[in-house]
Structure 1
Amino acid sequence: MTPMKPGVYTQKVVAHNGFMEVEVKLSADRIEAVKIVKSDETPYIVDEPMKQVISKVLKDQTLRVDTVSGATRSTGALLRAIGEAVEAAGGVSSEWTPDPVVIDPAKLPLADAPKADVVVIGAGASGLAAAAAAAEAGAKVVVLEKAPQAGGSLALSNGVLAAAGTDIQKASGTPADPAGLAKLWLEDQKRSVRGGVPGYPDKARVEALVKQSADTVAWLTKNVGLKFSANPVAADGIGAYALIPAASEAGKPAGAAQAEALLSYVEKKGGKVLTSTSAWKLITDKNGSIAGVSAADGKNRFEFHARAVVLATGGFGADLLKITQRQPRWAAFTEISKAAKTDTGDGLALAESVGGREVNDSWLIGVGIAPAYAPMTPSMLGPRGWKGITLVNEKGERFVKEDLPVLADAVSEQRDAWLVLDSTEHDKANRLMAYFGYETVVNANNWEELARRIGAPQAKLRATMDKYNADAKLGKDTVMGRDPENFAPLTKAPFYAVKVKPVIGGTMGGVLTDRSWRVLNAKKAPVKGLWATGEMANRAFYNRVYEPGTGLLIAYESGREAGAAAAKAALKK
């Protein structure tokens, strides 16, 4: 190990929300202390992950530490700051990142495992819902979660749920007709990007899901204790059917509060949730039926003998290799993701090992678009928020109706996508220039100059914006059909272009299941004793367009139904 000059070194790095200042105390051969002096990161999201990373660095004296799900950029910035401090002290940071030691779980000592009738793999929305329903039915339930904490992608979400026919909606006078929600859902899928396979979505399954949504919401509110209200904002499309979660603590995502409530309810019902414990093998009997799960926590391995297993491992939104194999175009967008870091497609391998079959045409859930740095967002949005933005591509052309609820898929089809704005709110727009760069934001005094800076044909961008402004003056978008109230002229120089990319929220994929969420084999016969929920079983509900709030509906409903069915099967004499 190259010796370092002892001392305290302060490093300033770019994190997710802005700059982070980190103080690192070093001796000749040790990292003695790490302190975050200043940070613009969201406290609830990053405080605990930062503590975990610092503790791991100091305990193991290594920078080979995994960034933490939900705070990947923030914890990555922290590790980068420590590495820069090592270099400033004359050390070599690469010496502090040795190759990881691969642990073979089969060679770990066998330890006693809690008894279980039902094993749920994954403690996100669908997994916790499955565990709760199974425990309600009288089953002994064990939940295996490979992350250090429960919650999965739910804990990173806004907790908004699409549903219909609920008492909440009926009392508020907002749209409540299940048939109406199903119709909107199915109609909107017709604008999916090209290339999908026929057969998606499954109309009958969408209609059945929506029809059962009121029962699922009633269960969540009356049994689990979650609180929702009807959407107080006038909305069209599926947004009118949104149920808004009760406010959570400042800085805490509403989804995190829902995860805490579900976890508490599972434990109250006698369920056991084992974190930092990964399932690595499904156990079958001589007939091929599920007989249990092999798991490990890095120190010991466990064998859970159970006749019913629920796969609730999430999708593969955090696995670059799986994304590249299935939808390579999206591999370029993995930097900006709201999928839990643990969403690496583990359930696919488990299911296939016992005869399950992955669905065709897995796709990515795009939940929005974003600039390179989160603090840029307020400065690039006007009074109408996201509905009022204007987008052009590398050809200098508009390519989508910008007031649609989700733009990620359309943006994913472009080589480059830019959000353009003018100087109507000059001071706000000018703040973007703190992030100036040809991959972040540029400005110019005319459209030709802006075109040159974003690599678009000058005449084409000029024609696009001339047509746009003429339409805005008339109050009618003749190109994309945008609502006139979301359509304002862009005429005041200087003009700005902010590069935006899709935000990955998860995946549409998983394995083949029937309407009871049972995993099916290649012959479309059930794998006895195996169910799949959430993103492990959501492909049937979409073509290639994600509908806001529906992911959580699928997770909660599939989890509740699969958990109850698994308990019934496990307890059957």
Structure 2
Amino acid sequence: MRKTVLAAALAAVATVASFALPASAAEMKPGTYEIVTRGNNGPLTVTTTLGKHSIENVVVGDNYETDYIALQPMKDVAAKIVADQTLSVDTVSGATRSTTALLRAVGEAVEKAGGDTADFTKDTTPIDPNTLPLSTVETDVVVVGAGGTGMAAAARAAELGAKVVVLEKMGLIGGSSALSGGAIAAAGSKAQARAGIEDSPEAFAQLWLDDQKSSVPGGEDGYPEVERVKALAAESAATVDWLEETVGLRFAKPRPFGFGGPERAHAPAASPVPASGRGSTAGGGAYVISALKKYTDARGVPVRTNTAAYELVTNAAGDVTGVRAHDGKNRYEFKAKAVVLATGGFARNVEMLVERAPQWVTFTDWTASAKGSTGDGLRMALDAGAAEAKDSWMIGLYLVPKYPILASTYTSKDKYKDRVFVNERGERFVDESRPYVTDPAAMQGQVWAIVDGSDPKKTEILKRYLTYDVVVHGETWSELGRRMALTNPSALQKTMDTYNADCEKGRDSVFGKDPAYMKPFTTGPFFAVRVLPGTGGTIGGVVTNERFQVLRPDGSVIKGLYAGGEMANRPFYNRVYTSGTGLAVAYTSGRIAGENAAREQ
């Protein structure tokens, strides 16, 4: 365990607030309380100083959190707890688990002191917008959502001379796109040409469609829509060229994505290059958002943060003529020729997941989606008569451990291609060399990553986390199987004997894995790391045409209404993701929707 700069930085964060709870609140025993809780990367120590009715100080001590990611968010949350005397503080996207752990530790300290956490919880009764003062605003285009799709739509519409307003319910812009690595898949771009990379939209579309053949079974017939995939791939280069030449974003030399393949990953030049030389670095998407914000600022586009859209305005014919929104103090009716819904998906809305993708509900805590991905746009569109796409699914990305540092123990330069994963029966369930294994993993009862003792550094990390549902180990496969509590502990011995023998033969007799990735696991001790499916958002939304106009169930266009990104990404997938295409869909659909919205009559 280490003492990070977090402790020093947070030590002076909190001072006694200028107010305290009423005397009727449960009285606490004044003093200092040290709580050790589970953080994002390991044990997290939080020391809380309490008065009879107040939280006087919050200090983070020993921990395994990542300084550059968790420092400022934890500092802000600690300060707000003390300043407002409340535990009803929003966690921070990108440091959700670290800030949640901080809140949990302070709550435990309150209870330990004899207090009641309910005394430090604000009333969260929803605001009725109809009770707020009304203002009317006239504009040409309203974009709902300031993530990648929304900012691209706003930029393109403003470029064409439209008067644009952007509404964002969160306090910050960027959404899931800002949290992503920022690498956009595209083929035939000028960036590729400069680097001497020969590529074509046709080759991109073919790889995309080939990837979809590895979808888990049970999906709706007709997905992906081949012509929509081809059209999107054909527009991908125009999107990155536009971002570079018009918006002003500079791209690095295109490179392969993390799983390998063609050099189609267009990542921001300002974002650090991963050690593997592939893909992108977490948070690189913020550079794309920053460039779009700078561009829209220069064109006078207002972005109203903390302003939640809640209803589309329609006329007698069912055309969309605007949107209603509020900021908690005032409500607004924006009258416009067109509205672009760019609110993202519903990965953070458990009720919607239960209705649309119940297989994934238990994994909602393991999503990279922004906190605001709660399906607001989908709800508004359906209320306005839109048709919803069939067979919603999730964007399965990676297999994530309970503590992020453990991912390095079962991830190689080839990601998972030379790894082995087993289920609760101790059996392999997938060809690990395929680009994404997350979807089949979500269909299992449990999933474990197998690691042997051949790498001392990995062994050292694993031994620090030996816990029944995190990491278990054994000197033999049979012993490991028992500690994994498999339904048939002896099955693991058979699975690994078969796999190791197949590695010697150079042929995977079970799933036909590429022989280049058949590497044996023979050095004890042996470890199993419990992993869960990590997601990047949802696949679904409303039905749109190639102009990204929203359609009714009868196929007719809802005049004045457009949607893009996760609000309209169902045509592009079956039940598996293709690297980089999420951002390709986001920025391309946003650009096209914004262009057509600006030209709406």
Moved more, 433-442 or 505-514: 433-442
Residue 510 of structure 1 corresponds to which residue in structure 2? 541
Give 1:153's aligned residue: 176
Give the distance between the partners of 2:196 and 2:508, measured in 1 at CA.
32
When residues 49 and 304 of structure 1 are mapped into structure 2, their CA distance, relative to the original with a 3 A threshold, is farther
After superposing the two structures, state which structure 1 stretch, 163-172 or 37-46, moved more: 37-46
In structure 2, relative to structure 1, the CA distance for the partners of 1:383 and 1:189 (3 Å cut) is: closer
Aligned pair 1:110/2:141, yes or no?
no
In the alignment of these two chains, the number of paired residues is 569
1:142 equivalent in structure 2 = 165
* Larger RCO of the pair (alpha carbons < 8 Å, separation 6+): 1
Aligned mates of 2:84, 2:210 — CA distance in 1: 54
1:29 to 2:29 alignment: no
Q: Structure 2 matches for 1:171-320, cutoff 5 A?
A: 171-232=194-255, 240-248=263-271, 253-320=283-350
Given that 1:122 and 1:143 are in contact with CA atoms closer than 8 Å, whether structure 2 keeps it comes out as: yes
Q: Which moved more, 1:349-358 or 1:51-60?
A: 51-60
Deviation at 1:84, TM superposition (A): 1.9
Selected match of 1:458 from 464, 480, 489? 489
More deviation, 236-245/514-523: 236-245
Distance 1:383 1:539 in 2: 31
CA gap 1:245/1:404 in 2 versus in 1, 3 angstroms: farther
The 5-angstrom pairing of residues 48-63 of structure 1 reads 48-63=72-87
Per the alignment, in what secondary structure is the counterpart of residue 228 of structure 1? coil
Query: Distance between the aligned counterparts of 1:74 and 1:131, measured in 2?
Result: 33
User: CA–CA distance in 2 between the matches of 1:384 and 1:183?
Assistant: 22
Q: Distance in 2 between matches of 1:174 and 1:119?
A: 39
Q: Using the alignment, how far apart are the partners of 2:474 and 2:413 within structure 1?
A: 23
The answer to whether the 8 Å contact 2:320/2:560 transfers is yes
Partner of 2:310, secondary structure, is: strand
Paired position in structure 1 for 2:575: 544
For residues 56 and 326 of structure 2, what CA distance do their matches in structure 1 show? Answer: 31
Map Cα deviations across residues 181-214 of structure 1 (whole Å, 9 max, x no partner): 1111111111110110111011111111111111
The aligned residue for residue 65 of structure 1 is 89
Shift of 1:478: 2.9
Aligned residues of 1:108 and 1:301 also touching (Cα < 8 A) = yes
User: Is the Cα–Cα contact under 8 Å of residues 70 and 341 in structure 1 kept in the other structure?
Assistant: no
User: What's the counterpart of residue 74 of structure 1?
Assistant: 98
- Check the 8 A contact 1:238/1:548 in 2, yes or no: no
TM-superposed deviation, 1:269: 1.5
The match for 1:532 is 563
Task: Report sequence identity in percent.
Answer: 47
Q: Take 1:236 and 1:414, find their aligned partners in 2: how far apart are those partners? A: 23
State the 1:310 CA deviation: 0.2
- The answer for the alignment partner of 2:408 in structure 1 is 378
CA contact (8 A) 2:268 2:287 kept: no
- For residues 484-523 of structure 1, what are the structure 2 equivalents within 5 Å? 484-523=515-554
- The range that moved more, 471-480 or 79-88, is 471-480
Q: Is the 8 A contact 2:158 2:296 kept in 1?
A: yes
| Residue of 129, 141, 149 corresponding to 2:152 | 129
Answering whether residue 503 of structure 2 is matched by residue 472 of structure 1, we say yes
Which whole-Å deviations, capped at 9, do the CAs of 1:246-284 have from their partners, x for residues lacking one?
243799710112212211211111111011110011111
The separation in 2 between residues aligned to 1:513 and 1:117, in whole angstroms, is 21
User: In the TM superposition, what whole-angstrom CA distance separates every residue of 1:356-414 from its partner, at most 9, and x where no partner exists?
Assistant: 11111010001111111101122333564433211111222111111222111011111
CA contact (8 A) 2:451 2:528 kept: yes
Check if 1:19 corresponds to 2:43. Answer: yes
Deviation at 1:223, TM superposition (A): 1.4
Shift in Å, 1:9: 3.2
Q: Which amino acid aligns with 1:527?
A: I
Q: Secondary structure at the match of 2:428?
A: coil
Q: Name the amino acid aligned to 1:103.
A: I
Query: Residues 169, 564 of structure 1: CA spacing in aligned structure 2 closer, same or farther, 3 A cutoff?
Result: same
* C-alpha displacement of 1:155: 1.3
Given that 2:257 and 2:579 are in contact with CA atoms closer than 8 Å, whether structure 1 keeps it comes out as: no
Contact 1:122 1:311 in 2 (8 A): yes
Query: 1:308 offset after TM fit, Å?
Result: 0.6
Deviates most, 262-271 or 537-546: 262-271
Residue among 426, 430, 433 paired with 1:396: 426
Greater shift in the superposed pair: 55-64 or 281-290 = 55-64
- Residues 131 and 146 of structure 1: is their aligned pair in 2 closer, same or farther, counting only changes over 3 Å? same
Distance 1:419 1:554 in 2: 31
Note if 1:350 corresponds to 2:380: yes
Q: Which residue of 1 aligns with 2:590?
A: 559
* CA distance 1:183–1:380, change in 2 (3 Å): closer
Pick one of 81, 105, 114 that aligns with 1:90.
114
Task: Give the CA deviation at 1:168.
Answer: 1.6
Give the Å deviation of 1:234: 9.0
Counterpart residue type for residue 220 of structure 2: V
CA distance in 2, matches of 1:415, 1:99: 38
Deviations 1:320-364 (A, max 9, x none): 111111121111111211011110111111101111111110100
Q: Rate the CA distance shift 1:563–1:39 in 2: closer, same or farther, 3 A.
A: farther
| TM-score of the pair, normalised by structure 1 | 0.94
| Mapped partners of 1:562, 1:141: distance in 2 | 13
CA contact (8 A) 1:320 1:331 kept: yes
- Measured in 2, the distance between the counterparts of 1:12 and 1:230 equals 45
Aligned AA for 2:583?
Answer: L
Determine helix, strand or coil for the equivalent of 2:579. Answer: coil
CA shift, 1:24, in A, is 2.5
1:314-329 to structure 2, matched below 5 A, reads 314-329=344-359
Matching residue of 2:451: 421
CA distance in structure 1 between the aligned counterparts of 2:196 and 2:318, rounded to whole angstroms = 51
Moved more, 410-419 or 32-41: 32-41
- RMSD between superposed Cα atoms in Å: 2.1
Letter in 2 for 1:379: T
CA contact (8 A) 1:308 1:529 kept: yes
1:426-477: CA deviation from partner (whole Å, max 9, x where unpaired): 3422421322222211111111121222214234222211111111122332
Structure 1 counterpart of 2:467, one-letter code = G
Cα distance in structure 2, aligned partners of 1:344 and 1:152: 12
Q: Which secondary structure does the structure 2 equivalent of 1:16 belong to?
A: coil
**Unpaired segments ≥5 residues, structure 2:** 1-24, 274-280
Separation in 1, partners of 2:364, 2:482: 27
CA distance in 2, matches of 1:422, 1:53: 40
The one-character-per-residue Cα deviations of 1:219-247 (angstroms, maximum 9, x if unpaired) are 01111222223444598775542223324
CA distance in 1, matches of 2:342, 2:171: 16
In structure 2, distance between residues paired with 1:527 and 1:73: 41
Asked if structure 1 preserves the Cα contact closer than 8 Å seen for 2:156 and 2:595, the reply is yes
Deviates more, 1:503-512 or 1:474-483: 474-483
Cα distance change on mapping 1:77 and 1:196 into 2, 3 Å: same
Name whichever of 383-392 and 361-370 sits farther off: 383-392
Distance 1:292 1:451 in 2: 60
